[in-house]
Every structure is written in structure tokens, then in C-alpha cells.
Structure 1
Amino acid sequence: MRVSQVLKENVRNEAPSFSFEYFVPKTSQGVQNIYERIDRMRELTPLFVDVTWNAGGTTKPNATTTNEMITKINKSYDLDTCMHLTCTGMPREAVDKALKEAYDGGCRCILALRGDAPLENEKWDAAQDGFLYAKDLVKYIRENYGDHFEIGVAGYPEGHPEEHDRDLLIGHLREKLDAGASFVITQMFYDVDNFLDWVKACRESGITAPIIPGIMPISQYASFIRRVKWCDINVPTEFLRALERVKDDDAAVREVGAELVTEMCKSIIEKGGIYHLHFYTMNLEKSTKVILERLGLLH
């Protein structure tokens, strides 16, 4: 499976598809729960699933790692996988180990990310013998593994905490693609018009790779507000007002949130001609499933 090829076929056939993101749980019970959820959600037939980066570490010898989850998902659940790999604080030896384990575990796709700087550091610096930018990681993967891995990279429709110049960020995105990446997954957003305007600017800059919108379902009002502030993204006024009216009723928030995000996805498909949606599940099942049902994408 080559993600970029399937997405281009989707556009030609006007046939939507979707994928799911999961993160590595912190407890053994959480790991068991997420495997059970993945087992159920595979019946929804996602194009692929991805797992955010967690290297474990010497202080947590029993911690599950991203590589472990990727291998199990590939071998036990028969799902195509995409492994996040960040180069924040990662010496080259650790990157080599992660890539070899991904290769041995049957993974054929990497989402190459710089990652966030450690909280105690005011300025981002590469680890000794590591990589400074995602484009350097992309190039390294290509040089060492040829075309074995398809490589995705991150896009920021509403800017990055360290840079808000849209044209400059689009230039950086183009550099990552020129280094060997073949598709883009965006940060979460709720402003569809801004997203589509950003996609248009990307195309005008010469970017032709598929762009996958990152979709964040809404389960609770407090967590919705927290993520919006953390990512520093805009929420349309009517969107925010609809949620504020029911913010003290979790069930109502889920219902209103599902309707708002469903309409958002419809606009992305109908206005933007973009036929793949990537759901940040937050290791939850119901909200994502409801949206897919309302979009008519479950058969």
C-alpha cells in the first residue's frame, strides 16, 4: 500500500477514505484496552492506522514502545501502519534502531517529524549526531532505505508555535517533500475556509503531494478548549457558540460536536475535493465512528 497512490486514485474516483491515529498508553491496562479498541475499529476498514512516537526509555523498562505497537498491529490485526518518528533528542543510533525495528515489524510508512523541544529547553537543538529538522530525517530515511518506506510529513494550516509566517512554513513543507516525502498530514483545525485557502497556497507554491486533513472529534468541552489553546488554532464563532451553549452537558457536547465535525468534513470533501480524512482518535472510538456513520462512509 502506498498512501499517496491510493489518495490520488480516491480523487480520480471521488471515493473518500479515512485513517486513524492512536497513541501509546502509559499503563499495561491501557495497552490492553487500546488493542481491543483497534480490533473493533479495524472493522471500519481504515486505509491505515498510525501510532505516535514513544521510545520507552531506561526509566520505564516495561513501557510499551511505538515499535511494539506497530509490529503487533501489522501482524495481529492485518492493518497497514504508519509509524511516527521524531528526531527530538534522538541520536542517530536511536533513529537507526527505530527504523530497523519498523522494517522488521512489517511497517512500510513513516511520518517523519522534528517533534517538540523538551520543556526545559528554551531553544531547540539536535541531539549529538542527530537531526535538526524533519527534512534531514526524511533525507536520511531515503538514503538508507530507498523506497521501502513511504514518508509523510506534517503541515500547519494555521502556523507553528515557533513560526507564523505562512509563506515561510509552506517553503519548509516543500523542502520536506523535495527531500523525499510523498504526502502531508495536517495539524488539527476547525476553520475549513482557512484550511482550504492554505491548501490553495500550497498548490500555488508548487506542492502537488496529497494533503490529508487532520480531524479531531469533540468528546468533552474542556478537552476541546484545552487542545484549541495548546495548538493555538482558530475556531469559527458559530462553531464555538454552539458548543458553549451545551458545555456543561457531556452528552450534548458529543452530539453537537459530532454534527459540527461531520459538516466540517463534508465541506472539506465537497468544497476542497479532498477525499481522505485522518482522525485523531485520542484512543477513543465512539465519536469517530459516529462522524463516519453520518458521512455515510461505513458499509
Structure 2
Amino acid sequence: MSKIIDLIKAKEEGSKPFISIEFFPPRTADGVKNLYARMDRMKESINPLFSDVTWGAGGSTAELTLDIAEQLSTTGHVANMHMTCTNLEKGGDPKAAVRGALETAKKNGINNIVALRGDPAAGQEEWKAADGGFTCALDLVEYMTENFGSEFGISVAGYPEGHPNAISEVEDPSSMSEAEKARSSMEGGKVYTCRDADYKKEMDYLKKKIDAGADFIITQMFFDTKVFGTFVKDCKTWGINCPVVPGLMCINAYAGFVKMTGFCKTRVPAELRAKMDSIKDDPDAVKAFGIEFGIQMCQDLTEIGVEVLHFYTLNLEKTTYGILKGLGYEVKGSAWARVGDQVKTANGVGVVKSIESDGSASIEFEGETPTATFKKEEYSKVF
């Protein structure tokens, strides 16, 4: 069972960054079935270094998260399971529940954990610790290292723009320092930022998590690579020398973009906001731009020297594949193509009319040979 930090350290100097991906637990049985198929396709297509699965707010998906992480592990993924401080069950001892979940994970071949405080449970505006439970992610990291030694690889969250709870409204924007301006965002005509004093507290806390036994950092979503670059430099200043993995939110739809950036108080550069607003009524244009913007971000991050590009897939494939192809990564196979998609073949570009269970497809072309069948490795999707 591989620890992710060991896999990252094995990266050859000068090689492209590794790729990793994240999923979330679906709400329905059909959704889970579709996710498992997608997980298989993405393993075959891009062979990620590791694959995350999130833990629902308030511990709401604990059991399903464990099931999905086990499925990842048994199908060849290196599973990196999120775990929060939230109680796993109503009543009882919350720490015992966490220990039980860790024991289950270990038994099922899952030995990489993302240690998080977690979001508030549904219906709660503020996060509250369970009676007798952990109060923060640092508690969870310390508990894991004290009770399991080095059995688990541990990653923790980092916030280049400051944790959402540490971001506050700025009454007088002219009072902001240059660093505060760089981290600032605007929502509903109001300016928000993580003040320098609060940012220092965030970095001090992050250092404690690493010192307590965490191996590397996965960041909150961001859209300004300059802010990420500053965060990496700040980590060095604080004596945090572990890998910093950028968390990349794939832009798939305008509504989702607005919802997530508002929820996380994410900085949206003016040019990006203007572009998204200009195409918000054209879903295809948004998807195409999401790929284009993602490629540019990844190129910038590669220049910074990141070891891994971590994609928040939103349980979708197209944008992630499009970005990777645009970066020159090999996307193997074409089982992820759908009926109606344009695909490239030895006969030219055609449209998929039907797909068999083995991935072979009937593809329609213009010209003298209107339809032909190709094996799944003989065609690739056109973005």
C-alpha cells in the first residue's frame, strides 16, 4: 500500500507534474453506479497518482465515503480519503467513531487520509465540535500519529487566500496592504480579504499541522496563480517545506462557478469574471472556456514547479480530459465518449452513433464511407 508522499518524492526532475483527481459521494444509488464507472474510465484514461473522495458536511456521507474509497482501492486507484472531525454517528464517543473509521479504512487497503475540520452540518451556519470530539484538523492529525504512528499518509488543507472563516469584509478598501489586495475578492459590491494578522494565524496553524505529522498540503480552490505562488513562497518562509498541491476547480457551468466562488469567497480576477459574465448564457462556450482557462492555469503552475495538479472534477470528465490533452498529456482510450460526440479516427472526424459494452463504436462520417466501427482505442474525443 503506497503512501502518496513517497509517490510524489519519486517524481523525476524535469518531468511533467503528476495528475490527481477528486470525487464526491453521489446522492442516489444510480449516481454511485455511474461514479464507479467513471472512476474506472478515469483510471484507464489518465492513471492518476491518487484519487480523493470527500466526506460530507457534518459527517453526512461517512459510510458512503468509506465504501467509495474502498472501491477506489480495489480497482487500482491510490485512494486518499477525506476525514473530518465531525462525529460519524449520533451519540456515543466521537473519537471512538473516528478510530473505528480509520481501522476500517486500514483494513480495506486505504492508508492515505486528508485530515480536515469539515464544513458545518446541514442547517447549521457555524461549525461546532461534537461533545468529547476533536476541535480542529490539528487534533485529528495528532490523534492519527499518536494512535497509528506512521501507518497512514496524511495530507491537510491549505488556503492561499485565507480560510473562508478568516476572510472578512473590508469597510475601507484603501486601508488594505498590497498582500491583502492580492488576496481580496469582491461579492455583491463588497470587498473581502484575509487581513495580514489573520493570514499569519492561518500560516502558523498550517505549520503546526505539518509539524504534527502531515506529509503534504492540498489547497483550497483558486483562480489566481499569482496568489498561489505567493502562498508557496510564504510556506517556505514559515519553514513549511513539504509539497504544496494546487486544488483546481474545473469550470463546467456558470451557475456552479458563481455558487462555489461565493461559498468559498474565492478571488476571481476581473478579466475572468468579465469573461464568464459575457458567456454565461452559452453552456458550450462556458465549457470550452473552462478548458482553455484550465490549460493556462496549469501551465503557470508548472512554471512555478508544482509536483502534482489536483483536479476537483465535480464527478465529471470532459473538462479534466480537455485540459490534460491541451497540456500534452496522453489520455488513453475513448470509453468516456458518448453518443453524439465528435471523435477523431483514422478515417477522419465523425460522430458517434452507438457504443457497445466493450467500448467499440459505430461512427458516422461524411463522404463515401458513411459509417464504420472502431475499437475504443481507435478513436478519441474531439473537444
TM bin, normalised by shorter chain, reads over 0.9
Aligned to 2:142: 139
Tell me how many residue pairs correspond in the alignment: 294
Which range moves more in the overlay, 237-246 or 39-48? 237-246
Match of 2:248 among 215, 224, 236: 215
Aligned to 2:160: 157
Aligned AA (1:5): D
* Aligned 8 A contact 1:11 1:273 in 2: no
Q: Secondary structure at the match of 2:164?
A: coil
Rounded to whole Å, the distance in 1 between the matches of 2:295 and 2:264 is: 21
Change in CA separation of 1:55 and 1:252 when aligned onto 2, cut-off 3 Å: closer
* Aligned 8 A contact 2:87 2:98 in 1: no
Aligned AA (1:282): L
* Aligned 8 A contact 1:4 1:209 in 2: no
Match of 2:48 among 43, 46, 49: 46
Aligned AA (1:66): T
Rounded to whole Å, the distance in 1 between the matches of 2:164 and 2:57 is: 24
- Aligned pairs (5 A) from 1:218-233: 218-233=251-266
Q: Secondary structure at the match of 1:12?
A: coil
- Aligned pairs (5 A) from 1:1-299: 1-10=2-11, 12-43=13-44, 44-54=46-56, 65-75=64-74, 77-90=75-88, 91-118=94-121, 120-121=123-124, 123-163=126-166, 164=194, 165-270=198-303, 272-298=304-330
Please tell me the root mean square deviation across aligned C-alpha atoms, in Å. 2.0
Q: Which runs of 5+ in 2 are unaligned?
A: 89-93, 167-193, 332-383
Query: Is the strand fraction higher in 1 or 2?
Result: 2
* Aligned 8 A contact 1:55 1:66 in 2: no
User: Cα distance, 1:140 vs. partner?
Assistant: 0.7
Percentage identity across aligned positions? 44
Query: Is the helix fraction higher in 1 or 2?
Result: 1
* TM-score w.r.t. length of structure 1: 0.93
* Aligned 8 A contact 2:57 2:119 in 1: no
Q: Secondary structure at the match of 1:162?
A: helix
User: Cα distance, 1:122 vs. partner?
Assistant: 5.5
Ranked by relative contact order (alpha carbons within 8 Å, sequence separation 6 or more), the top structure is 1
* Aligned 8 A contact 2:313 2:320 in 1: yes
Rounded to whole Å, the distance in 2 between the matches of 1:178 and 1:110 is: 16
Aligned AA (1:169): E
User: Cα distance, 1:72 vs. partner?
Assistant: 1.7
Tell me which structure has the larger Cα radius of gyration. 2
User: Cα distance, 1:9 vs. partner?
Assistant: 3.6
* Aligned 8 A contact 1:218 1:253 in 2: yes
User: Cα distance, 1:88 vs. partner?
Assistant: 2.3
